[in-house]
Amino acid sequence: MEGYILALDQGTTSCRAILFDHDGRIRSLAQKEFPQYFPQPGWVEHDPMEIWSAQLSVAMEAMATVGVGAAEVAAIGITNQRETTILWDRRTGRPICHAIVWQCRRTAEMVDALTPAQRSLIQERTGLVPDAYFSASKIAWILDHVEGARERAKAGELAFGTVDSWLIWNLTKGAVHVTDYTNASRTMLFNIHTRRWDRELLDIWDIPEELLPEVCPSSMVYGYTDPAVLGGRIPIAGAAGDQQAALFGQCCFEPGEVKNTYGTGGFLLMNTGHRAISSSHGLLTTIAATREGEELNYALEGSVFVAGSVIQWLRDEMRMVKSAPQSEEYADEVFDTAGVYIVPAFTGLGAPYWNPYARGTVVGLTRGCKKEHFIRAALESIAYQSMDVVQVMEEDAGVKLKGLKVDGGASANNFLMKFQADLMDVPVYRPKCIETTALGASYLAGLAVGYWKNTDEIKENWQLGRTFRPDIASADREKLLRGWHRAVRCAMAWADDREG
Ligand code: ADP
C-alpha cells in the first residue's frame, strides 16, 4: 500500500504529528509544546488558536522532514486530550474565550449544586460520575460568563467542540462541524445508550442544542483538508479521545481485552463489546472507538490519579533520583521494600475508594529503611493502584483478566512491569511501539479509507517488545496485597480523623 497515515496527537501539554507507514512504523515525528494558562488557583486554560497553530506546524514539519506531500498522505487521524471545551464564532472561526481544560476545577461548585435526582439521571444516561472534569459545566460556565454568549448560541452563531471538533473545523476551514462518539461520551451531555445529545441533560445546564456538533463514528471520512491548509485535499478519516485511541492502538478489539497506560496518571480501559456495563465501584462507562456501520462498542474505564508522577515527585521534590529511569536501578538493588508502603494519595484516592480527603501516607518505616526501599515502595504503589482498579473491573464486567497490554512513559520501567505481572498474576505485554495513542488514531483513519483492509491486518502490526510473566507464590502475593490494603486504610484513617 502506497503512502502514509498522518496522526495528529493533540495532548494536554504538547501537539504531536506522526507519519505511520503500512506496517505501523513511525516514519517521522514532530512535537511542539504550547502555553498553559493558570489565571487563578485551580484554573487551567489553553488558547485554541495556539493549539491550532502548534498542531498545524508539527503536521507540516512531520511531512516536510521526510519530503512527503499531501498526495502521499492517505488519511489523517486525530486523537486528543478529552473533555477540554472550546466555543467559537461560526462566521469568523474565532474562539470566544480560552479553552477550559479538563483539569480545570472552576466549575466544581456548579457540579456540587446538582440535586441527587440530577446526579443519578446524568450517571444513568452518560455512564459518568458527575464531575467538573467533563465538558457540560464548562460550556455552561462560558455561556454564563462571556457577554451575550447564551443568546448568540441560541441564535446558532456559536459552535462548541472538544479539541477533535476544533481541529477538524480548522482543517476543513469551517466546512465540517463534527465530533466522534468517544469524545461526545465525555461531555456529560451525550446519552450513550440512545447515541444522541440528551435534551434533559442539556436543560440541566441551559445549553442550546444549536451549539453542538454532529456525532459520528470514530472511523469514517468526515471531510477533506482545505487545500490551503496542507497543500492538498487529504481525507480526515478518524478521531478518538486519547484513552480510547490507545485501546484501539493496542488492538484490544475483543471484549475483555484490557490496556493500561502508565503516564502522569494511570488509565485502565477494558473493551466490554456491545454492552454498556454500569459499575458498582465508581468506574466510568464510556464509548470505545467504533467504525462506521458497526454496532457501538463500549469500555469500562478506571483511573489512577498519581502513577508516573510519584516518580516525578521522587525526582523533583524528594530529590532521591536524578531521572525517572534511575528509579529502576535503585529498586533492583533491594529484595523488597523492608515492609514499607507508600500510598501516593496526594489528591485523594480514586476507584475503588473514592476518598477526596485521603492524603499521601508512608507506613512501616524501621531504622533499616534506605532510600532504595523507599523508591521501590513508590514504584510498587503504581502497580498496587492499578491492581485495585483491575479487581473491581473484573467484578463489574464478570470477566477474569487474561493478560495486560501496557504503554505510557512509565511502562518503560522493567521492575514496575515485572511487579505488575506478579501482583495481577497474568502476563504483562509491552509492545515495541508505545506510541499507541497516535497509532490508534492512524488505524481508525487508515481503516476508513481502505489503507488497511480490516482489523486482522492491523493485528499483524502489533509487535511485542517484551513479556513479563508472574512468578511469585500466591501466598506471597496475598501477603503483599494485605499489606497494601492495610496501608490504604491508614491513609483513610488519617482523612477520617481530620479536623473541621
Ligand atoms: P503523559 O502522557 O501523562 O505526559 P508519559 O506517558 O509521557 O506521560 O509518561 C511520563 C511519566 O512517566 C512521568 O510521570 C515520569 O515520571 C514517568 N516515567 C517515565 N519514564 C519512567 C521510568 N523509566 N520509570 C518510572 N517512571 C517513568
Question: How does pLDDT run across 127-162, given as a tens digit for each residue?
Answer: 998 988 899 999 999 999 999 999 999 999 999 999
**Residue that is written with C-alpha cell 493533540 in the block:** 10
Q: How far is the CA of 134 from the centre of ligand 1 (A)?
A: 24
Decide if 302 contacts 393 (C-beta within 8 A): yes
Q: Which of 34, 311, 381 to mutate to test the pocket of ligand 1 (most atoms within 8 A of CB)?
A: 311
Decide if 465 contacts 276 (C-beta within 8 A): no
* Closest-lying ligand 1 atom to the alpha carbon of residue 265: 3
Q: Could you give the C-alpha distances from 464 to 36, 243, 248, 441, 458, in angstroms and in order? A: 36, 20, 16, 20, 14
Take atom 22 of ligand 1 and give the residue whose Cα is closest.
Answer: 325
Parallel, antiparallel, or unpaired: how do β-strands 178-180 and 14-20 relate? unpaired
Q: How far is the CA of 417 from the centre of ligand 1 (A)?
A: 13
* Integer Cα distance of 128 and 284 in angstroms: 5
The backbone torsions φ and ψ at residue 407, rounded to the nearest 5 degrees and listed phi first, read -160, -175
Whether 327 lines ligand 1, by a CB cut-off of 6 Å, is yes
Return the pLDDT at 354: 82
Q: Which of 13, 101, 259, 262 to mutate to test the pocket of ligand 1 (most atoms within 8 A of CB)?
A: 262
**Residue that is written with C-alpha cell 511487579 in the block:** 419
* Integer Cα distance of 377 and 396 in angstroms: 29
Whether 79 lines ligand 1, by a CB cut-off of 6 Å, is no
Give the number of residues written for the chain. 500
Number of Cβ within a 10 Å radius of residue 48 = 25
Take atom 23 of ligand 1 and give the residue whose Cα is closest.
Answer: 325
Decide if 223 contacts 168 (C-beta within 8 A): yes
* Closest-lying ligand 1 atom to the alpha carbon of residue 11: 2
**Residue that is written with C-alpha cell 504483562 in the block:** 428
Q: How far is the CA of 410 from the centre of ligand 1 (A)?
A: 4
Return the pLDDT at 346: 86
Whether 311 lines ligand 1, by a CB cut-off of 6 Å, is yes
* Closest-lying ligand 1 atom to the alpha carbon of residue 312: 16
* Integer Cα distance of 221 and 242 in angstroms: 19
Whether 264 lines ligand 1, by a CB cut-off of 6 Å, is yes
Take atom 15 of ligand 1 and give the residue whose Cα is closest.
Answer: 308
Q: Which of 31, 413, 416 to mutate to test the pocket of ligand 1 (most atoms within 8 A of CB)?
A: 413
Interacting residues of 211 by C-beta distance below 8 A, sequence separation 6+ = 87, 139, 153, 158, 159, 160
Return the pLDDT at 131: 87
Return the pLDDT at 1: 61
* Integer Cα distance of 38 and 30 in angstroms: 26
Whether 324 lines ligand 1, by a CB cut-off of 6 Å, is yes
Decide if 225 contacts 234 (C-beta within 8 A): yes
Q: How far is the CA of 15 from the centre of ligand 1 (A)?
A: 17
Whether 217 lines ligand 1, by a CB cut-off of 6 Å, is no
Whether 77 lines ligand 1, by a CB cut-off of 6 Å, is no
Whether 411 lines ligand 1, by a CB cut-off of 6 Å, is no
Take atom 18 of ligand 1 and give the residue whose Cα is closest.
Answer: 410
**What's the start-to-end Cα distance of the chain, in Å?**
65
* Closest listed residue to residue 82, CA positions, set 140, 10, 4: 10
Q: How far is the CA of 316 from the centre of ligand 1 (A)?
A: 13
The partner residues of 196 in beta bridges, in order of sequence, read 191
- In the chain, which stretches have pLDDT less than 50? none
Whether 381 lines ligand 1, by a CB cut-off of 6 Å, is no
Q: Which of 36, 264, 267 to mutate to test the pocket of ligand 1 (most atoms within 8 A of CB)?
A: 264
Parallel, antiparallel, or unpaired: how do β-strands 297-304 and 284-288 relate? antiparallel
Return the pLDDT at 500: 62
Q: How far is the CA of 429 from the centre of ligand 1 (A)?
A: 18
Q: How far is the CA of 378 from the centre of ligand 1 (A)?
A: 13
**How buried is 455 (Cβ within 10 angstroms: 0-12 exposed, 13-18 middle, 19+ buried)?**
middle
Decide if 348 contacts 357 (C-beta within 8 A): yes
* Closest-lying ligand 1 atom to the alpha carbon of residue 13: 4
Return the pLDDT at 265: 87
